[in-house]
Structures are given as structure tokens and as C-alpha cells.
Amino acid sequence: GRMAGNVAKKMALLAKIGSSDPYRAVTNNKGIMNGVDAVMLATGNDYRAVEAACHAYAAKSGEYRSLSSWKLEGENLLGQVTLPLALGVVGGSISSRPDIRQSYAILGKIKAAELAELTASVALANNFAALNA
């Protein structure tokens, strides 16, 4: 309806601003990284390394930019996030910590590429929620 259309327009506008204003990009990326960090912590991955890589990626053009983009295509809101995710599903603290083993019990037999997709999905959902707040 009209409210959904207004929300989509607002999000597309905020995303456009985030592509050119580094202060808006910082706010966007903070929300994105809140989601990424949660998945990294739950799965025993090095959230600090991933955080550093993502912020470096956001600045690769020489100016700090948003890691996500949102645009209207007809009546559809399309979101995209691009993240350099170096993560794993074996080794490190994964087998030694009961809380992390529990996370993998919930996730099932997941491959690193699938965990990366899940992480990106959580990141984009978190960004959606933050932009819509």
C-alpha cells in the first residue's frame, strides 16, 4: 500500500545519500556490521578481522561508502550488500566452545560459502531494520 511505498522511497533515498555522504555511510555500515558481528561471534569467526576488512572495502574508492544499496524497481524495493567475508566452519574455537558448537548444531552441516550467504542476509536485514526505524 501507500505506507509500504513511502517506506521503500525513504529507504532508497537514504541509500542514495549513503553512496555519497560518508557520515550516512558510517551509519549504514554500523547497522550492517552489527548483524555481521553477531553471526561471526555465534559461529566462532574472527569478527575483528571481518570488521576491518569490511571497513577497508567500504573505503576502497578513496572515499568511505555504504556497503549496501537499495533501489526501487517498479514497486519492488531491491537491496544488495557486498562484503569481503573471510570465514570458516571448522577449526579455531569452533570445536572447543559449547556455545559455538550449539550454533552449528542449529545451523546443521553448513559450508563456508553458505555461512557467508547467511551472514550477508543477516547484514542486509539488519540494515533494512535500521533504515526503517
- All 3 cell numbers of residue 59? 573505503
**Is residue 42 within a helix (H) or strand (E), and if so which, with residue range?**
helix 22-42
Report pLDDT for 70.
92
Can you name the residues that pair with 80 across neighbouring β-strands?
69
Number of other residues whose CB lies within 10 A of the CB of residue 70: 25
Report pLDDT for 106.
96
CB 62 within 8 A of CB 8: no
Report pLDDT for 84.
97
pTM for this one?
Answer: 0.89
Report pLDDT for 43.
95
Q: CATH assignment of 2-132?
A: 3.90.770.10
End-to-end, the C-alpha distance of the chain in Å comes to 18
Report pLDDT for 80.
96
Report pLDDT for 1.
53
pLDDT means per 10 residues in the chain (133 residues)? 74 82 92 97 95 98 94 88 94 84 94 98 95 81
- All 3 cell numbers of residue 4? 509500504
CB 28 within 8 A of CB 53: no
Report pLDDT for 74.
84
Q: Spell out the domain ranges in the chain.
A: 2-132
Amino acid at 1: G
